[in-house]
Amino acid sequence: MLRNAFTMQLKPGVIEEYKRRHDEIWSALAKELANAGITDYSIFLDEESGKLFAIQKLSDNNTADALPETAVVKKWWAYMADLMEVHADNSPVCLPLREVFHID
């Protein structure tokens, strides 16, 4: 099992809307993530800065790199683009994090 961690950035004043949209995550998106081998996916928030910290577990044979090409992920990105820092294609600006410590 692999772990993937990254940060994203919310725009000011959108925390509650971001949470609401994730509380109502589309079943098709959740299924697509699971099918790609992503499990135990959490997003944490630094409320002062609006910085999001995400961590997910990936199966050894995951296909997460192909997710940006799926219709449901593109639709989700467009749905979330007004709340986050995004690229021209609406994909969130994600900064990967390097794991420096882990304990089970």
- Catalytic pick among 3, 19, 20, 22: 22
Reference 39, options 53, 22, 55, 26; nearest CA is 55
Starting at the edge strand that comes first in sequence, how are the strands of the sheet with 51-58 ordered? Answer: 38-46, 51-58, 2-9, 95-96
Residue 22 falls in the annotated catalytic set: yes
The catalytic residue positions are: 22
